[in-house]
Amino acid sequence: MLLLSLLLQAPASAAPNIAYEQFELDNGLTVLLVEDHRLPKVVVDTWYHVGSYDDPMGASGFAHLFEHLMFKGTPNVAEGEFDRVMEAAGGSNNASTGDDITNYFDWGPSSILDLLLVMEADRMTGLDVTQDKLDREREVVHNERRQNWEDPPYADIWNEIPRMLFPEDHLYYRNGIGTQEELDAATLDTVTSFYDTWYVPNNATLVVAGDFDPAWTAARIRELFGPLQVGEVPDHRAYPTVTEPVVREKTITDDVQLPALVMAWHSPVLYEEGDADLDIYSDLLTGGDDARITRRLVIEEQSVQEIHAFQASAKRGSTYMVMAYLSPDADIDGVKAAIIEEMQAVIGDAPPTDEEVTIAVRGYEMGFLRRLESITSRAETLQGYLYHTGNPDYLAKDLARYNAVTPDGIVSAVETWLDPEKAAVLIVLPEATEDTPEEGQ
């Protein structure tokens, strides 16, 4: 309680400055250098401005498949050697594909910075893709799809919600992992074309963070990445503006123990008005045992075992979601009504209080600043600011969005975006078993 008291009394803290050096190579590669000598560690973080949104038509899951292929070797680094050489030197790596970007990040002791730069420069335009590699990695992705998107309990939620919210001509309609049929249809020519189109220095940003000499590092980056050829990067495809769900309600069954209720809305895109307000609103609803919905449905009524509300911010269309895992005998319609009642109460007889908002904002700020203790997180944060706003020096403005949230701002965001009539409602029921009579029996 002492910490809470100090947070409530203290003025909004000034945002720390992430010091960086920025420059651009003649071929368009944007580079950020972030020095931090507290630990003998470095991170090399590369973003390519392409994601599953840019999957070729009829080839969903392609950007993610290609992320796998980026580890399959070049004429200079044989297949399997990328990981082996890096790990033998004490380093490691990972990657992820999002809707809008694909990132590759390597880390290790500062003594291996040159190795990390050499290997990333080598595969930026020198990848060696063969039919055999494509076939093998396609099977790896098929297994990943089964393990992460088909077999786990409630996994179908993430397949169904995009199709309920977005029309087929919006590329967020497609699941980033892709369908097995469309992955099977991918050809070597499609792979080569995708690589040549998007994996070029003028469609990438490179951040080096940690313990390094900036003059040497800048010179080495120019030496390694500077000769890479510029590509002709196409415009990203246009997308329709969507404000209401395509499918308003759907019920599915799954091999689960408890029924689930998911409600989803279209919401403001990342950094636009209302985005931060809905983040803070989520904390008021389900941010802890004393949050409004959690206190009522989980603690008091015990009709729900677990519930989460969150603003899933994105570049081309965000989603606000409430996900509830119900108690076995709960009345689904009653839980839905209670959730809507609590959500709408903020624009009725129970508006947010100044204290609720202050606690939530300070909690968000503390968590945000704590994450920045990691040099990988700082690299990714600057990458995100540069990509979404064009300005890596956006930290103060980002935190200012949250410190500017007010009860009235939350009310306005809820009124604007979270009309109960514009929700997509997905119900997940446990599959019938021999001990569970089918409906109507």
Return phi, psi of residue 64, to 5°.
-70, -40
pLDDT grade, residue 240 (50/70/90)? confident
Residue 313 vs residues 1, 244, 310, 379: alpha-carbon distances, Å: 32, 17, 9, 19
Helices (H), 199-318: 214-225, 275-286, 292-293
For residues 150 and 283, membership in a common domain is answered with no
Residue 5 scores a pLDDT above 50 = no
Cα–Cα dist 271/265, whole Å: 17
For residues 131 and 215, membership in a common domain is answered with yes
* Mean pLDDT score, 78-105: 96
Predicted pLDDT of residue 11: 44
Half-sphere exposure of 170 (CA within 13 A, CB side): 18
Reduced to 3 states (helix: H, G, I; strand: E, B; else coil), residue 43 is strand
Decide if 242 is inside a domain. Answer: no
Residue 392 scores a pLDDT above 50 = yes
Q: Given 168, 192, 225, which residue is the final one in a domain? A: 225
* Mean pLDDT score, 71-78: 95
For residues 213 and 336, membership in a common domain is answered with no
For residues 322 and 212, membership in a common domain is answered with no
Predicted pLDDT of residue 15: 53
Cα–Cα dist 275/312, whole Å: 9
Residue 278 scores a pLDDT above 80 = yes
What residues form DSSP beta bridges with 306? 325
Decide if 370 is inside a domain. Answer: yes
For residues 123 and 72, membership in a common domain is answered with yes
For residues 287 and 212, membership in a common domain is answered with no
For residues 219 and 318, membership in a common domain is answered with no
Convert the pLDDT of each residue in 9-53 to its tens digit. Answer: 334 445 568 999 999 999 999 999 999 999 999 999 999 999 999
Decide if 175 is inside a domain. Answer: yes
Contact between 324 and 306 under an 8 Å Cβ cutoff? The reply is: yes
Predicted pLDDT of residue 1: 36
Predicted pLDDT of residue 433: 53
Decide if 12 is inside a domain. Answer: no
For residues 253 and 197, membership in a common domain is answered with no
At position 81, the amino acid (one-letter code) is E
For residues 220 and 269, membership in a common domain is answered with no
Predicted pLDDT of residue 418: 98
Report the CATH number that the domain containing residue 24 is assigned in CATH. Answer: 3.30.830.10
Residue 272 scores a pLDDT above 60 = yes
Candidate from 105-119, 166-180, 277-291 with smallest mean pLDDT: 166-180
Which structural domain range is residue 366 located in? 249-430
Cα–Cα dist 142/181, whole Å: 10
Decide if 50 is inside a domain. Answer: yes
Residue 7 scores a pLDDT above 50 = no
What is the residue-wise DSSP string for 271-283?
TSTTHHHHHHHHH
Q: Which of 382, 29, 35, 17 shows the shortest CA–CA distance to 217? A: 35
Largest CA-CA distance found in the chain, in angstroms, rounded: 76
Count of domains observed in the chain: 2
pLDDT grade, residue 56 (50/70/90)? confident
Contact between 106 and 151 under an 8 Å Cβ cutoff? The reply is: no
Residue 121 scores a pLDDT above 50 = yes
Convert the pLDDT of each residue in 247-268 to its tens digit. Answer: 999 999 999 999 999 999 999 9
Q: Which of 318, 332, 327 shows the shortest CA–CA distance to 264? A: 318
What residues form DSSP beta bridges with 21? 33
Predicted pLDDT of residue 177: 87
Contact between 104 and 70 under an 8 Å Cβ cutoff? The reply is: yes
Predicted pLDDT of residue 207: 98
Predicted pLDDT of residue 149: 82
Give the alpha-carbon dihedral of 274, 279, 282, 283, to 10 degrees. -130
- β pairing state of 424-430 and 260-267: antiparallel
* Mean pLDDT score, 374-393: 96
Decide if 7 is inside a domain. Answer: no
Q: How many residues does the chain have?
A: 441
Residue 126 CB-density burial (10 A; 0-12 exposed, 13-18 middle, 19+ buried): middle
For residues 220 and 255, membership in a common domain is answered with no
Q: Given 225, 260, 283, which residue is the final one in a domain? A: 225
Cα–Cα dist 409/421, whole Å: 21
Which helix (DSSP H) or strand (DSSP E) does residue 231 occupy?
none
For residues 219 and 255, membership in a common domain is answered with no
Decide if 165 is inside a domain. Answer: yes
Predicted pLDDT of residue 8: 33
Residue located via tokens 């050697």: 81
Which helix (DSSP H) or strand (DSSP E) does residue 383 occupy?
helix 375-389
Convert the pLDDT of each residue in 166-210 to its tens digit. Answer: 998 888 888 888 888 888 888 899 889 999 999 999 999 999 999
For residues 292 and 397, membership in a common domain is answered with yes
- Neighbour tally for 301: CB within 10 Å: 14
Candidate from 172-176, 291-295, 388-392 with smallest mean pLDDT: 172-176
Decide if 120 is inside a domain. Answer: yes
Convert the pLDDT of each residue in 190-201 to its tens digit. Answer: 889 999 999 999
Half-sphere exposure of 224 (CA within 13 A, CB side): 21
Task: Check residues 220 and 315 and name the one with the higher pLDDT.
Answer: 220
Convert the pLDDT of each residue in 421-435 to its tens digit. Answer: 999 999 999 997 544
Task: Check residues 246 and 12 and name the one with the higher pLDDT.
Answer: 246
pLDDT grade, residue 119 (50/70/90)? very high
Cα–Cα dist 123/317, whole Å: 32
Predicted pLDDT of residue 435: 47
At position 51, the amino acid (one-letter code) is G
Residue located via tokens 């070797």: 73
| Mean pLDDT rounded to a whole number for the chain | 92
Q: Given 176, 191, 225, which residue is the final one in a domain? A: 225
Cα–Cα dist 76/190, whole Å: 23
CA 211 to chain centre: 27
